[in-house]
Amino acid sequence: MSDLQVVRPGPLTTVQDLGRRGVAHLGVPRAGALDEPALRAANRLVGNGPAAAGLETTLGGVALRALGPVLIPVTGAPAPVTVDGRAAAWGAPIAVPSGAVVEVGTATAGVRGYLAVAGGIAVPPVLGSRSADLLSGLGPAPLAAGDRLPVGTPPPCRDRAELVPLPAPPAELVLRLRLGPRADWFAPSAVDRLARDGYRVSAASNRIGLRTEGPVVGRTRTGELPSEGMVLGAVQIPPDGQPVVFLADHPTTGGYPVIGVVPAADLAAAAQTRPGTPVRFVPLREK
């Protein structure tokens, strides 16, 4: 049995795959890895399918004891990796012998790291996904010391990738913005200001949403908006006027106006952006 036992869970480490898709009509968020390309890369390095579950760490890493020989890579936020105290490669497969402790240290850049294992983390799926959803409470709880994580059957060695390049965490977060559905609740000057004025990532950001700090985005309409469906990447403007970009654990409905939607391709960078990082919105206007 090649299970993993949690020695040090880190500040917030969760099991994540590609999330629960097609269940928003049930009020269930998508969840899944915030930096999806990084999880996909980790799975490719050990020959897993793209939907295999791995671990998502947050800033402080994680330490795990191998209860049998395992093959693991670490991607996402760059961080030191050791096996029984000896330096190991980041971004490449690492053979961890039975009984050894593999440790991912504090991220040197970015926020979220991804640790995959050949065979995937085989916790029971819920609604088609093994992901932990911090908003609804579905899926496994965040890791705690002493937890035992089951590992699936490793895939054939011939299916492994040798190298999967990934972009560095951004020094400035640039988010394209498709305007609507409630852009008409804001003056055109407010949209221009959103693109022109500087925002920064707030320390209150989490898996639910990337919160920003900067100039207030004011409404031209008053009153309440009936609750309506929300999508991944929706930029909601709450009463304080500070834009919030919805991420994987976002609610499926909301009552604040959405000025626009960030394309999913831009959200991996948002997952790796630390508090204080400059944010620039780039509205995509129809021609």
Measured at the CA of 277, the angle between CA 272 and CA 279, to 5 degrees, comes to 95
For residue 149, the tally of other CB atoms under 10 A from its CB is 19
H helices, E strands: number in the chain: 3, 21
pLDDT, tens digit, for every residue of 158-194?
667 666 788 889 999 999 999 989 999 998 888 888 8
Domain limits of the chain?
4-159, 173-284
CATH of 173-284, one of 2.40.100.10, 3.40.50.2300, 3.50.50.60, 2.170.120.30: 2.40.100.10
Q: What are 202's two structure tokens?
A: 């707030």
CA-CA-CA-CA dihedral for 75, 57, 81, 174, to nearest 10: 50
Is residue 287 over pLDDT 60?
Answer: no
Identity of the residue numbered 159: D
pLDDT classification of 195: cutoffs 50, 70, 90: confident
Is residue 224 over pLDDT 90?
Answer: no
Q: Is 26 helix (H, G, I), strand (E, B) or coil?
A: helix
User: What percent of the chain shows pLDDT beyond 70?
Assistant: 97
Q: What pLDDT, on a 0 to 100 scale, did the predictor assign at position 93?
A: 95
pLDDT, tens digit, for every residue of 146-157?
999 999 999 987
**For the whole model, what pTM was predicted?**
0.95
CA-CA-CA-CA dihedral for 247, 252, 254, 257, to nearest 10: 60
> Do the Cβ atoms of 218 and 241 come closer than 8 Å?
yes
For residue 111, the tally of other CB atoms under 10 A from its CB is 23
Alpha-carbon span 180 to 253, nearest angstrom? 16
Q: What are 226's two structure tokens?
A: 């009936």
Alpha-carbon span 43 to 56, nearest angstrom? 13
